[in-house]
Amino acid sequence: AITALGAALGALGGLGWIDFRRRDQSLMARLSRALAREELTLVYQPVVDVADERIVAAEALIRWWSNGDFIPPDVFIALAEQRGMAGQITRYVLDHVIQEMGETLRLHRDFRITINVTASDLNDPKFLAAIEEGLHYAQIEPEQIGIELTERSAADSHAAIEGIARLRARGHSVYIDDFGTGYSSLSYLGELKVDALKMDRAFTRTVGTDAVTVSIVPQIIDMATKHKLAIVAEGIETEAQAAYFRGLPVRILGQGWFYGRPVSAPRLIKRLEQQDGIIALRKHRKKNRP
C-alpha cells in the first residue's frame, strides 16, 4: 500500500516538484559560494559603429563554470531574481568591470561598458552607492558606465521609471535591452525616457529574408530616430546583415558574432589597442601625405 501511495504521489508530480525545489536551492547555494570565492568571470562583447566597425563600447556578460559545467546566465540569473539575489550579481559585475576595465576606461574617454541590471537594482541604495564608488575609484565618468534593462523591467512600475530617471540625471545612459520582445512596444516608445534601444536579435535575423516581420525593423528604427534614441542592432552574424544596417541613412551601432564574440578583458583591451594603433597610423599617413 505504501509503494502504491508513493507511486500515486509521484504520478501527481508532487515528488518531482520537491526535487525541483531542492535542485534550485542547491544551485543558489552553489551560486552564493561561487560569488564569495569569485569564481564567476566576465566576458565583454564589442559594440561597433556599423559604418566603420570601430568599437565604441562593450557589454559585460557574466559566465559561470561550476565543476566543469557551464551554467547559462539566463538560467541562474532568472533564479537569482526570484530568490532576491539579483543585486549580489549586479554588484559583482560592477566591481569586476571596475577592476578589469577601469584603467582602459580612464585612457579611452569615448569608450564605455554597459552592464545588465534588473528593475530591483534601480532603487537599491547599495547599487547606487557601488556605482558611485566605482566611478570615483577608477576616476571615470558616469557616461562610461551604461545601464541595460529589459523592456519588461523598464515598463514595470512607477519606481522603475523613477530609478531610470535618477540614473540618467547622474549621467549614465540607459539602454532598453532586447527591445521588441516585451510589450507591443512601438506605441509607447515615446514614453520611455531612455537613451538607446537594443533591438532584439530576433529582428536582425529577419533582415534579408522575406519574413513578414522584416518590415518591423525600419519601423523600429524610424520611431527610435524620431525620439532621438540611439540604436544598437543585436545579433549581427553575417556580412549580409551588417551590409543592411550599413546601408541605412541613420547611425546604427551593432553587436554580434560578425563583429566579435564575447571575450576576456585582456583580449578586448588588445583589440582596442590595435584599433588605436590603426587610427594613429591613419593620422600619421594623412599628415605626411605629399
CA distances from 162 to 143, 177, 183, 192, 256 (A): 19, 18, 20, 11, 31
- Which listed option, Mg ion, ligand C2E, none, makes contact with residue 156 (CB within 5 to 8 Å by class)? none
Strands 196-199 and 230-233: parallel
**Contact with ligand C2E (CB under 6 A) among 46, 113, 262, 265:** 262
124 by DSSP, 3-state: which? coil
Burial class (CB in 10 A: 0-12, 13-18, 19+), 30: middle
Only segment of 19-27, 119-127, 153-161, 178-186 that touches Mg ion (CB under 5 A): 178-186
116 counts as binding Mg ion under rule CB under 5 A: yes
**How many angstroms separate the CA atoms of 111 and 115, rounded?**
14
Write out the binding residues for ligand C2E, residues 163-192 only, by CB under 6 A: 177-178
Write out the binding residues for ligand C2E, residues 196-255 only, by CB under 6 A: 201, 235, 237, 255
CA diameter of the chain? 97
Between residues 45 and 104, which has the closer beta carbon with respect to Mg ion? 45
Write out the binding residues for Mg ion, residues 158-177 only, by CB under 5 A: 177
Amino acid in the structure at residue 184: S
28: which 3 cell numbers?
543558489
Binding site for Mg ion (CB under 5 A): 116, 148, 177-178, 198
Binding site for ligand C2E (CB under 6 A): 45, 61-62, 72-74, 77, 89, 93, 116-118, 148, 177-178, 201, 235, 237, 255-257, 262
